[in-house]
Amino acid sequence: DTGVSQNPRHKITKRGQNVTFRCDPISEHNRLYWYRQTLGQGPEFLTYFQNEAQLEKSRLLSDRFSAERPKGSFSTLEIQRTEQGDSAMYLCASSFVPREPQETQYFGPGTRLLVL
Amino acid sequence: EDKVVQSPLSLVVHEGDTVTLNCSYEVTNFRSLLWYKQEKKAPTFLFMLTSSGIEKKSGRLSSILDKKELFSILNITATQTGDSAVYLCAVEARREGQNFVFGPGTRLSVLP
Protein backbone atom coordinates (compact mmCIF):
# COMPACT_ATOMS: atom_id res chain seq x y z
CA ASP A 1 0.00 0.00 0.00
CA THR A 2 1.63 3.23 -1.13
CA GLY A 3 -0.98 5.61 0.27
CA VAL A 4 -1.01 7.67 3.44
CA SER A 5 -1.33 5.51 6.55
CA GLN A 6 -2.34 6.45 10.07
CA ASN A 7 -2.13 4.60 13.35
CA PRO A 8 -4.01 3.78 15.40
CA ARG A 9 -7.26 3.80 13.49
CA HIS A 10 -9.29 4.11 16.66
CA LYS A 11 -8.42 5.33 20.13
CA ILE A 12 -10.59 5.45 23.24
CA THR A 13 -9.12 7.22 26.21
CA LYS A 14 -10.17 8.73 29.50
CA ARG A 15 -10.24 12.45 30.03
CA GLY A 16 -6.89 13.71 31.23
CA GLN A 17 -4.81 11.05 29.50
CA ASN A 18 -2.26 11.77 26.79
CA VAL A 19 -2.58 10.26 23.32
CA THR A 20 -0.24 10.14 20.33
CA PHE A 21 -1.14 9.49 16.72
CA ARG A 22 1.18 8.65 13.87
CA CYS A 23 0.98 9.48 10.18
CA ASP A 24 3.14 7.99 7.43
CA PRO A 25 2.79 10.05 4.25
CA ILE A 26 3.30 8.92 0.68
CA SER A 27 7.04 8.42 0.48
CA GLU A 28 8.07 11.19 -1.91
CA HIS A 29 5.70 13.77 -0.46
CA ASN A 30 7.33 16.73 1.22
CA ARG A 31 4.26 18.33 2.76
CA LEU A 32 2.21 16.84 5.55
CA TYR A 33 -0.98 18.26 7.01
CA TRP A 34 -3.02 17.47 10.10
CA TYR A 35 -6.75 18.15 10.16
CA ARG A 36 -9.50 17.54 12.65
CA GLN A 37 -12.99 16.62 11.56
CA THR A 38 -16.05 16.50 13.75
CA LEU A 39 -19.38 15.04 12.78
CA GLY A 40 -21.11 16.95 10.01
CA GLN A 41 -18.20 19.30 9.38
CA GLY A 42 -15.47 19.51 6.79
CA PRO A 43 -11.88 18.98 7.87
CA GLU A 44 -10.40 21.85 9.91
CA PHE A 45 -6.74 22.68 9.41
CA LEU A 46 -4.52 22.14 12.46
CA THR A 47 -0.94 22.36 11.27
CA TYR A 48 1.38 21.51 8.41
CA PHE A 49 4.99 20.61 7.73
CA GLN A 50 7.25 21.30 4.78
CA ASN A 51 9.79 18.50 5.16
CA GLU A 52 10.67 18.59 8.88
CA ALA A 53 9.77 22.24 9.44
CA GLN A 54 6.44 23.03 11.04
CA LEU A 55 5.41 26.13 9.12
CA GLU A 56 2.02 26.98 10.50
CA LYS A 57 -0.26 26.14 13.38
CA SER A 58 -3.94 26.96 13.53
CA ARG A 59 -5.31 28.84 16.48
CA LEU A 60 -7.40 25.69 16.97
CA LEU A 61 -4.21 23.99 18.09
CA SER A 62 -4.06 24.74 21.80
CA ASP A 63 -0.91 24.30 23.85
CA ARG A 64 -2.09 20.78 24.71
CA PHE A 65 -1.44 19.78 21.10
CA SER A 66 2.00 19.23 19.65
CA ALA A 67 3.09 17.83 16.33
CA GLU A 68 6.47 16.73 15.08
CA ARG A 69 8.01 15.48 11.89
CA PRO A 70 11.56 14.82 13.02
CA LYS A 71 13.11 13.45 9.84
CA GLY A 72 10.74 14.89 7.30
CA SER A 73 9.01 11.55 6.85
CA PHE A 74 6.43 10.33 9.38
CA SER A 75 4.70 12.71 11.76
CA THR A 76 3.21 12.41 15.22
CA LEU A 77 0.41 14.41 16.78
CA GLU A 78 0.21 14.36 20.57
CA ILE A 79 -2.66 15.59 22.67
CA GLN A 80 -1.94 16.07 26.35
CA ARG A 81 -4.56 16.09 29.09
CA THR A 82 -7.32 15.13 26.68
CA GLU A 83 -10.74 16.68 27.02
CA GLN A 84 -14.08 15.41 25.79
CA GLY A 85 -14.11 18.17 23.19
CA ASP A 86 -11.05 16.59 21.60
CA SER A 87 -13.20 13.68 20.39
CA ALA A 88 -13.00 13.80 16.61
CA MET A 89 -11.48 12.19 13.55
CA TYR A 90 -7.87 13.28 13.10
CA LEU A 91 -6.88 13.25 9.45
CA CYS A 92 -3.44 13.39 7.96
CA ALA A 93 -2.83 14.39 4.36
CA SER A 94 0.30 14.66 2.27
CA SER A 95 1.28 16.28 -1.00
CA PHE A 96 4.29 16.98 -3.15
CA VAL A 97 5.11 20.56 -3.96
CA PRO A 98 6.33 21.85 -6.37
CA ARG A 99 5.87 18.90 -8.72
CA GLU A 100 2.36 19.99 -9.51
CA PRO A 101 1.51 23.57 -10.36
CA GLN A 102 -1.35 23.21 -7.97
CA GLU A 103 -1.32 21.08 -4.90
CA THR A 104 -3.43 17.98 -4.38
CA GLN A 105 -3.62 16.46 -0.96
CA TYR A 106 -4.01 12.76 -0.41
CA PHE A 107 -5.64 11.75 2.82
CA GLY A 108 -4.98 8.92 5.20
CA PRO A 109 -7.79 6.85 6.71
CA GLY A 110 -7.83 8.94 9.89
CA THR A 111 -7.64 8.18 13.59
CA ARG A 112 -10.95 8.36 15.39
CA LEU A 113 -10.50 9.57 18.95
CA LEU A 114 -13.12 9.18 21.65
CA VAL A 115 -12.46 10.81 24.99
CA LEU A 116 -14.64 9.48 27.79
CA GLU B 1 -11.92 35.62 6.24
CA ASP B 2 -11.72 32.84 3.66
CA LYS B 3 -14.80 30.68 3.45
CA VAL B 4 -16.32 27.91 1.39
CA VAL B 5 -20.07 27.33 1.32
CA GLN B 6 -21.74 24.23 -0.03
CA SER B 7 -25.36 23.64 -0.84
CA PRO B 8 -27.48 21.79 -0.23
CA LEU B 9 -26.10 20.41 3.03
CA SER B 10 -28.01 17.21 2.49
CA LEU B 11 -29.85 15.64 -0.39
CA VAL B 12 -31.89 12.47 -0.81
CA VAL B 13 -32.55 11.11 -4.27
CA HIS B 14 -33.49 7.84 -5.92
CA GLU B 15 -31.26 5.74 -8.10
CA GLY B 16 -31.12 7.05 -11.63
CA ASP B 17 -31.66 10.67 -10.67
CA THR B 18 -29.20 13.40 -11.64
CA VAL B 19 -27.88 15.67 -8.90
CA THR B 20 -26.04 18.96 -8.87
CA LEU B 21 -23.97 19.96 -5.87
CA ASN B 22 -22.90 23.55 -5.39
CA CYS B 23 -19.80 25.13 -3.94
CA SER B 24 -19.20 28.87 -3.64
CA TYR B 25 -16.13 30.48 -2.16
CA GLU B 26 -14.45 33.64 -1.02
CA VAL B 27 -10.70 33.12 -0.89
CA THR B 28 -7.81 35.48 -1.20
CA ASN B 29 -5.42 34.54 -4.01
CA PHE B 30 -7.39 31.62 -5.38
CA ARG B 31 -5.29 28.83 -6.81
CA SER B 32 -7.52 25.79 -7.33
CA LEU B 33 -10.73 24.13 -6.24
CA LEU B 34 -10.90 20.48 -5.33
CA TRP B 35 -13.76 18.05 -4.89
CA TYR B 36 -13.51 15.05 -2.58
CA LYS B 37 -15.83 12.15 -1.85
CA GLN B 38 -15.96 11.03 1.74
CA GLU B 39 -17.61 7.81 2.78
CA LYS B 40 -17.03 6.28 6.19
CA LYS B 41 -13.38 7.20 6.11
CA ALA B 42 -11.02 9.85 4.81
CA PRO B 43 -11.82 11.99 1.76
CA THR B 44 -10.78 10.63 -1.61
CA PHE B 45 -9.83 12.99 -4.40
CA LEU B 46 -12.23 13.49 -7.32
CA PHE B 47 -11.32 16.60 -9.31
CA MET B 48 -9.06 19.61 -9.29
CA LEU B 49 -10.24 22.69 -11.17
CA THR B 50 -8.13 25.68 -11.99
CA SER B 51 -9.59 27.25 -15.12
CA SER B 52 -13.05 28.62 -15.69
CA GLY B 53 -15.41 26.92 -18.07
CA ILE B 54 -13.44 23.72 -18.60
CA GLU B 55 -15.46 20.71 -17.61
CA LYS B 56 -13.73 17.76 -16.02
CA LYS B 57 -15.37 14.37 -16.33
CA SER B 58 -14.88 11.01 -14.73
CA GLY B 59 -17.53 8.48 -15.62
CA ARG B 60 -20.87 9.76 -14.37
CA LEU B 61 -19.27 12.62 -12.46
CA SER B 62 -18.41 15.99 -13.93
CA SER B 63 -17.45 19.35 -12.53
CA ILE B 64 -16.92 22.88 -13.74
CA LEU B 65 -15.58 26.08 -12.25
CA ASP B 66 -16.69 29.68 -12.69
CA LYS B 67 -13.92 31.95 -11.39
CA LYS B 68 -15.86 35.10 -12.18
CA GLU B 69 -18.86 34.13 -10.09
CA LEU B 70 -16.70 32.19 -7.60
CA PHE B 71 -18.47 28.87 -7.66
CA SER B 72 -18.24 25.32 -8.85
CA ILE B 73 -20.76 22.57 -9.43
CA LEU B 74 -20.40 18.83 -9.23
CA ASN B 75 -22.84 16.82 -11.32
CA ILE B 76 -23.61 13.17 -10.87
CA THR B 77 -25.80 11.55 -13.50
CA ALA B 78 -27.68 8.25 -13.23
CA THR B 79 -26.94 8.08 -9.51
CA GLN B 80 -26.30 4.75 -7.82
CA THR B 81 -26.49 3.75 -4.17
CA GLY B 82 -22.69 3.64 -4.14
CA ASP B 83 -22.66 7.38 -4.74
CA SER B 84 -24.03 7.91 -1.24
CA ALA B 85 -21.37 9.91 0.59
CA VAL B 86 -20.42 13.35 1.76
CA TYR B 87 -19.00 15.46 -1.04
CA LEU B 88 -16.47 18.01 0.13
CA CYS B 89 -15.35 21.10 -1.72
CA ALA B 90 -11.99 22.62 -0.82
CA VAL B 91 -10.34 25.74 -2.14
CA GLU B 92 -6.61 26.22 -2.32
CA ALA B 93 -5.18 29.69 -1.80
CA ARG B 94 -1.87 30.81 -3.23
CA ARG B 95 -0.01 31.42 -0.01
CA GLU B 96 1.95 29.58 2.59
CA GLY B 97 0.27 28.02 5.55
CA GLN B 98 -3.40 27.24 5.69
CA ASN B 99 -3.61 26.68 1.99
CA PHE B 100 -6.81 24.69 1.95
CA VAL B 101 -10.21 25.74 3.20
CA PHE B 102 -12.89 23.08 3.24
CA GLY B 103 -16.62 23.49 3.01
CA PRO B 104 -18.99 21.63 5.34
CA GLY B 105 -19.86 19.08 2.67
CA THR B 106 -23.07 17.90 1.04
CA ARG B 107 -24.40 14.61 2.35
CA LEU B 108 -25.91 12.70 -0.57
CA SER B 109 -28.12 9.70 0.05
CA VAL B 110 -29.17 7.65 -2.96
CA LEU B 111 -32.09 5.34 -2.29
CA PRO B 112 -32.66 2.17 -4.29
The parts of chain A modelled with pLDDT lower than 70 are 1-2, 99-102
**Which residues from A are below 8 Å from B45, CB to CB?**
104-106
Q: B32-77: per-residue pLDDT in tens?
A: 899 999 887 778 889 889 888 889 999 999 999 998 999 999 999 9
**Which residues from A are below 8 Å from B97, CB to CB?**
48, 55-56
**Mean pLDDT score of chain A, rounded to an integer?**
89
Please provide the DSSP assignment of chain B as one string: --EEEEE-SEEEEETT--EEEEEEEE-TTEEEEEEEEESSSS-EEEEEE-STT--EEETTEEEEEETTTTEEEEEE-S--GGG-EEEEEEEEESSSSS-EEE---EEEEEE-
The H or E element containing residue A29 is none
Among residues A56, A61, A77, A83, which one has the least CA distance to residue B95? Answer: A56
**Residue in B48, B102, B103 closest to A104 by CB:** B48
